Amino acid sequence: MNEAQLLQSILASLPEIWVVTAACILLIGGLFVPKGRGDVLVLASVAVVLIAAAMTLMLAGEVRPAYSGMFLADRFAVFIKVVCYLGTALTILMSRRYAEIEGIERCEYYVLLLFALTGMMIMASATDLLMVYVGLELMSLCTYVLTGFMRTERRSNEAALKYVILGAVATGVFLYGVSLVYGLTGTTQLDAFAASAGEGGADTGLALAVIFIVAGLVFKIGAVPFHMWVPDVYEGAPTTITAFMSVGPKAAGFAVVLRVFLNPLVAASDVWIIVAVLAVATMALGSFVALVQDNIKRLLAYSSIAHAGFALFGVVAGGADGIASVMLYLLIYAFMNLGIFGAVVMMRNGARSGEAIEDYAGLARSHRVLALLLLLYLFSLAGIPPTAGFFAKFYVLVALVDQGFVILAVIAVLLSAVAAYFYIRIVMVIYMREPSGAFDPALTPGLRVVLAVTALGTLGIGLFPAWFLGLAQQSVFGG
Amino acid sequence: MAVPWLSLIVFLPAAGAALLMVLRDDAAVRWVALSVTLADLALCLGLLAGFDGSTHAMQFTETRDWVPALGIRYALGVDGISALFVFLTALLGVVSVLASWAAIATRVKEFMVSLLVMQTLMLGVFAALDLFLFYVFWEAMLIPMYVIIGVWGGEGRVYAAVKFFLYTLAGSLLFLVGVIVLYFQGGRTFDILALMDGDYPFAVQAWLFFAFLVAFAVKVPMVPVHTWLPDAHVEAPTAGSIILAGVLLKMGAYGFLRFSLPMLPDASVHFAPLMLALSALAIVYGGLLALAQDDLKKLVAYSSISHMGFVTLGIFALNIRGLQGGILQMFNHGVTTGALFLFVGLIYERTHSRSIADYGGLMKVAPVYTVFLALFTLASMALPGTNAFVGELLVLSGGFAVSLAAGAAAVLGALLSAAYLLSMYRRVALGPARVAERHEVWDLNARELAAALPLAVFVLWVGLYPKPFLGIIDASVSHLLAQVHGQEGGP
């Protein structure tokens, strides 16, 4: 690599470099922040994310390959990174008061979030399986620690342990697949590996390798059959971290899935059948099991499984529209899911855990605006127009039908009718029950910002989807 | 045209709802809601005055790009068929606000906001000329209606609301897949008029017909997917029942008229016998169920199933009189059944009982009430001189022209409706004044009269002089019929 290439590479990965550097500085600087001044940490880390976002957008003008083809800063990566910035920034904003209440207000909390963000950014840009691995591990290790951040809480510890063990196995499986690919083709770069595989036709060994890689990735997006960790980890982790995990890592996981699956070779093979089966099973499991949950965090865990299933339908559809539909889905899901998690975080105050669905009974009586916002997020998650959640599903369906998968589209809508039930059940509890006590939501300025941004996104994209759709369509790689 | 009249009509209630959000006083909320619906009705009257009945073309059209990448536009417009229902919706909007004046005592603001949002969405459904836009309005109605039934309904409201929601959603989602398939079949457009001109292979038409049928049949409702209706109607507050019966049920039939018939003509002709059989079944079965009811609201609800059977029977007779009768009957059913639900609600406010057995001799204590009740009851059973007579006569003559059996079933249904309605009226209004012994019953007040009078006017106007109403729909019906039979060279 000569000097010009090195400079070019540094420029392409400037946002990543910035976030890592800033996180390190924050780690040291955080030692000098007096206790009880968490607001400084919040502001500093949000600023880091925003500056990174500004850098990413400024560099978005052209496609920048870097580090000898291991890393690619293209528009697709920009789109996914924006979703990750959104998830991280909003998570940080909703954290302050919750962290105080749970006694986990430490500077490492924010630093780990920023490191996890770096991992996700690397995943979004990675065009080499080893690079994917580096990003994946960086992100995973941070989320393992964050899951167990409530050190005195048994649930949190148990969740973290489960997550580490299962996650390590999944990463191992992924790595094994990568080693097979290297052994068979002599490269780990996605393009090169695709090209050499294309010559040989359907190679059994390569198919096996792809299956291992798929298994590792499917674990990260929480799809069947590697979904078992999701409910326990979502329930045990601090709620803010649950919100973060349901958006950022999932988006990054889907980014890799899209890059791996939709390069021309894999798209031409019959892998889509496997993905289609996974999508149906994932959505069915998430939708049906969520029906019987009483804990809202568990319910949202199964709901996120169901949504991952729906987004997988977009992967099945493939093509430019399929990719764009998954990207748009991820963006919209980030808004509505962070919104609902913001509300759950807020309910954690005083004696209320805010985790039982019954805790929300009669909220509409005393907190009209809050109840209305929850109604908006829930109907959006259920996919009822004019919310953004509807448009997300609609576009996936358009992509499916365009490719001739009408039966899959019918299955998808029928399962989302099932899923609608548990969302409207929460609406029912909020609006149609009598309150059992006074509510005292911890409504901090940060949370207000979170709710305003997410509500605006959820309703705004629903009413005026054209611009966002155009953005997703222009950001599709290779098309 | 410089002034976007239809957009004004559609979004005025939504703007009113936004205004209500900032009000604090319940009385002010009621008055603002009433003024908004009245203003909307006035706009609709203006619309009808400017409506040209001699053409089937869409009028008052507006078009704007919405999501150009997918060919989605914001397009509104009315022809004779939809103009009638835009007007009906606006009329029943005023009636609903008046009906909720005293009946809704808690969370008045939220109720009126839901009602006005609902109003916007219903008007949007009838005015939309873009299939995507139509679907957004159609599906979004679930949200306010779910809240209206679930929060302000009777004892079993939660169950009824959830059932209503899931039935309608499951139906609509299949419709959505059908819409997307049609989008690709029709050359990537959601333009309703362009889609009507398309010529689709029969196999595609047949599948789409059933995808659409599920959505529309749930809304109408047709037997056997009618079971949400008694629950929803009985548990909903009065205004909710009026909207459900008066407007929402019409949307299913409107869907057949706007989509199934013109876009899928071959399938419509092919499956017409099936539809006639289902309609005949609904007429007789709904009538028999109504005959067995003791609950006033349930009786009216089941009678709706029977009467909507007349509507679908007329539509799928696929001849001029059947279609005219079906459409006119949609309007009539909205007026009379809306009125009947209103009157059940009014008496319920006084006695808190819906059981027919609790009543008797209302005529002695509330004469004005019973006079109006008599008028609407007779209208509902299609007595000559009332609106439903004209509609049912047209439906029958259209029905007999295509199928003797269907016509016979409709006659049987008409007899049944005379039986249950007259018996209901006898037991409620005539006889000794037993109800007054237990409850204080007072006659209609000015507000209630204001709600009832316009409906009574339309009962008699359509009954005695239906020509202006037929004049509005005439050109559009002929055009629709030409679209259905076009490929086959006439009826």
Asked whether residue B355 carries a pLDDT value surpassing 90, the answer given is no
Asked whether residue A301 carries a pLDDT value surpassing 80, the answer given is yes
Tell me how far the alpha carbon of residue A355 is from its chain's centroid. 21
Give the residue-averaged pLDDT of B267-292: 94
Question: Is the separation of the CB atoms in A296 and A234 below 8 Å?
Answer: no
Give the residue-averaged pLDDT of B70-87: 93
Dihedral angle sign, alpha carbons of residues A246, A249, A255, A261: negative
A233-289 pLDDT, tens digit each:
999 999 999 999 999 999 999 999 898 877 666 666 677 788 899 999 999 999 999
Q: Which residue of B has its CA nearest to A432?
A: B151
Question: Is the separation of the CB atoms in B177 and B280 below 8 Å?
Answer: no
% pLDDT > 90, chain B: 75
ipTM of predicted assembly, 2 dp: 0.93
Higher pLDDT, residue B342 or A318: B342
Asked whether residue B444 carries a pLDDT value surpassing 90, the answer given is no
Nearest Cα to Cα of residue B214 among B243, B175, B248, B179 = B175
Mean pLDDT of chain B: 91
The CA distance from A479 to A387, in Å, is: 28
The CA distance from A389 to A406, in Å, is: 20
pLDDT of residue A430: 92
Cross-chain Cβ contact A424/B146 below 8 Å: yes
Asked whether residue B420 carries a pLDDT value surpassing 80, the answer given is yes
**B117 min Cα distance to partner chain A (Å):** 12
% pLDDT > 90, chain A: 66
End-to-end CA distance of chain A: 29
Residue in B139, B158, B174 nearest the CB of A432: B158
Of A162-166, B29-33, B221-225, the range with the lowest mean pLDDT is B221-225
pLDDT of residue B491: 39
Task: Spell out the alpha helix ranges (H) of A269-318.
Answer: 271-290, 296-317
φ, ψ at B153 (rounded to 5°): -80, -170
- Is B18 at the interface with chain A, CB within 8 A? no
Question: Is the separation of the CB atoms in B62 and B4 below 8 Å?
Answer: yes
pLDDT of residue A349: 82
pLDDT of residue B410: 92
**B85 min Cα distance to partner chain A (Å):** 23
pLDDT band at A106 (very low <50, low <70, confident <90, very high): confident
Mean pLDDT of chain A: 90
Helix (H) / strand (E) element for B310: namely helix B296-317
Q: Which residue of B has its CA nearest to A464?
A: B66
| Amino acid found at B90 | A
The CA distance from A118 to B108, in Å, is: 50
B52-68 pLDDT, tens digit each:
888 888 899 999 999 99
Asked whether residue B1 carries a pLDDT value surpassing 60, the answer given is no
Of B108-117, B255-264, B334-343, B441-450, the range with the lowest mean pLDDT is B441-450
pLDDT band at A479 (very low <50, low <70, confident <90, very high): very low
Give the residue-averaged pLDDT of A387-410: 94
Question: Is the separation of the CB atoms in A470 and A392 below 8 Å?
Answer: no
Residue in B143, B169, B180 nearest the CB of A401: B180
The CA distance from A224 to A284, in Å, is: 10
SS3 B287: helix
SS3 A13: coil
Cross-chain Cβ contact B170/A428 below 8 Å: no
The CA distance from B135 to B211, in Å, is: 14
Tokens of B200: 């689709």
Chain B neighbours among A 430-469 (CB < 8 Å)?
A: 431-432, 465-466, 469
B155-165 pLDDT, tens digit each:
889 999 999 99
Q: How many helices (H) and strands (E) does chain A have?
A: 21, 2
pLDDT of residue A199: 58
pLDDT band at A53 (very low <50, low <70, confident <90, very high): very high
- Is B148 at the interface with chain A, CB within 8 A? no
The CA distance from A330 to A86, in Å, is: 11
pLDDT band at A435 (very low <50, low <70, confident <90, very high): confident
CA angle B56, B61, B66 (to 5 degrees): 135
- Is B142 at the interface with chain A, CB within 8 A? yes
pLDDT band at A76 (very low <50, low <70, confident <90, very high): very high
pLDDT of residue A267: 61
B25-54 pLDDT, tens digit each:
889 999 999 999 999 999 999 999 999 888
Domain boundary assignment for chain B:
271-483
A401-426 pLDDT, tens digit each:
999 999 999 999 999 999 999 999 99
Q: Which residue of A has its CA nearest to B138?
A: A385
φ, ψ at B53 (rounded to 5°): -80, -5
Question: Is the separation of the CB atoms in B271 and B192 below 8 Å?
Answer: no
